[in-house]
Structure 1
């Protein structure tokens, strides 16, 4: 999107400028590899946007923004190992291109580098930003553990699922937005409202991903159709279906989600139940609920109206995807 381009250029230039040339290269080359795979760079971009919203110094925000991006990619390196994923952004994952031990150690090094990006901040900003970042990092790990727990857990409640995606996905977006405000030395209330804006937007974004996995166009979303069903992932669609299902439908869902092997029969049977219960409509209603909450927090932020327009465009960019 054009309104993101100037911020994305700053982020991509910074990644190149801070490219790791240290020894041993076997440790740092995999880090440079994953950082060069591209992606939206959404989290560092929204940190810069938030800083700019409050007329902050963008230069001061660049290294903290990289810290967010480094941490995100660290989590991807380790997630790919746990998920046994072979591709990331259309290219080999780090543990496939190199090996699993290298990916673990390089991921650890990238985590350390993410924290080092805050060392140059003035003391009054360092404490605020580092405290926020370290708490967020821990919550992301908690979210990943809950996600793994759910694979073995037959019943997952709506509240449990929202808590999991909040920690695994939403809090890092929220952290980026609050940190941008902190770096611009915005007021406490505005900083917290930016955090809540990001948290609710992050939840809506993950719910939309769940929706698109099953009901989106494969050529548009760029991944296998209904992959979450194949992998027995208890997404919001599954949870809504279990809430609305009769005993016969629940029995069928329990059966198919206990089958490890992917098959067209399994996909078709689960899709039939989802459509019978109209979980697509229920999911879209939830997405609207959380996006409306995000807008409410954004409206409370005291900042230039024209600059805030970018954030409303951001909501559309993330949630109004071709399905």
Structure 2
């Protein structure tokens, strides 16, 4: 089996960011080289390889996907006021808020620029895919923010939100790779649909780890979703399984803005409710 990870990492290392202005490009290099699983670009390369096209031909599309993904992370960290990304300070914490916004914008542009190596017809197809995905990711992010202040969010609405915010990019990664490989429209769409399902599973697992993961392994602050009143799958599972008294407690915790002095208390209390209601076990079972 080809080592897709090494091929992509070697390609990423070969991409040299401009030196000036350093305040724009250093944060981009910093975030890109923090690591990560590189799942999306690897899927792009796998899809290209599946159609017996040299994997090298898919590297530019894989880079576009990874640049776009990291752009969303940089801006997502700002909106979440997250202190850590992959166990290291987030860009806006290490530099400042304005740098995080501007460097993120530049990464989005670079994602499109990386596709310019392809012939016009393929470039047009790939940019349309990326643009459609980009607007859907923005829609998902808006829903995510809206849900934080809504007293009721259905599980169906939550699943649609994560489809848009997270899963469509996984689908796009596979579809772009297949398209570069010369797949038929039917094959490319089939891989896209599979990727959306896979991306949904990724997000459910991420929601679980946000509450119950090891910060050293997870690379982010544990309990962030709880503090932001995000009604994740754990919340929905708890509300469907808990007794009336515990449901009332969950609703009370998720209706309050969290002061810094009560953050640890809130995380501890909500996690205990997730466990006692069976939400922790049920959520784990959804992704194994």
How far is 1:269 from its partner?
A: 3.6
Q: 1:100 to 1:59 in 2, by over 3 A?
A: same
Task: Measure the CA separation in 1 of the matches of 2:93 and 2:209.
Answer: 27
From 241, 252, 270, give the equivalent of 1:244.
241
SS in 2 for 1:117: helix
**Residue in 1 aligned with 2:199?**
202
- In structure 2, runs of 5+ residues without a counterpart are none
SS in 2 for 1:21: coil
- Please say if 1:17 is aligned against 2:14: yes
Alignment of 1:24-39 (within 5 A): 24-39=21-36
Structure 1 range deviating more: 218-227 or 37-46: 218-227
**Residue in 1 aligned with 2:278?**
278
Q: Deviations over 1:94-117 (max 9, x none)?
A: 122222112211111111111111
Alignment of 1:168-247 (within 5 A): 168-216=165-213, 220-247=217-244
Q: 1:224 to 1:34 in 2, by over 3 A?
A: closer
Task: Measure the CA separation in 2 of the matches of 1:217 and 1:269.
Answer: 18
- Please say if 1:41 is aligned against 2:38: yes
**Residue in 2 aligned with 1:304?**
none
How far is 1:92 from its partner?
A: 1.9
Alignment of 1:28-177 (within 5 A): 28-177=25-174
SS in 2 for 1:241: helix
Task: Measure the CA separation in 2 of the matches of 1:26 and 1:271.
Answer: 40
Q: 1:21 to 1:134 in 2, by over 3 A?
A: same
Q: 1:200 to 1:20 in 2, by over 3 A?
A: same
Task: Measure the CA separation in 1 of the matches of 2:148 and 2:214.
Answer: 26
Q: 1:98 to 1:242 in 2, by over 3 A?
A: same
SS in 1 for 2:250: helix
Task: Measure the CA separation in 2 of the matches of 1:130 and 1:72.
Answer: 15
How far is 1:10 from its partner?
A: 1.5
**Residue in 2 aligned with 1:310?**
none
Q: Deviations over 1:153-187 (max 9, x none)?
A: 11111111101111111111110011111110112
SS in 1 for 2:168: helix
Task: Measure the CA separation in 1 of the matches of 2:175 and 2:229.
Answer: 35
Corresponding pairs, count: 285
Task: Measure the CA separation in 1 of the matches of 2:33 and 2:269.
Answer: 40
Structure-1-length-normalised TM-score: 0.81
How far is 1:225 from its partner?
A: 4.6
From 245, 253, 257, give the equivalent of 1:256.
253
SS in 1 for 2:44: helix
How far is 1:32 from its partner?
A: 1.5
- In structure 1, runs of 5+ residues without a counterpart are 288-319
- Contact preservation (8 Å) 2:5, 2:38: yes
SS in 2 for 1:160: helix
How far is 1:118 from its partner?
A: 1.3
How far is 1:221 from its partner?
A: 3.9
Task: Measure the CA separation in 2 of the matches of 1:96 and 1:273.
Answer: 32
CA RMSD of aligned residues (A): 2.1
SS in 1 for 2:197: helix
How far is 1:73 from its partner?
A: 1.0
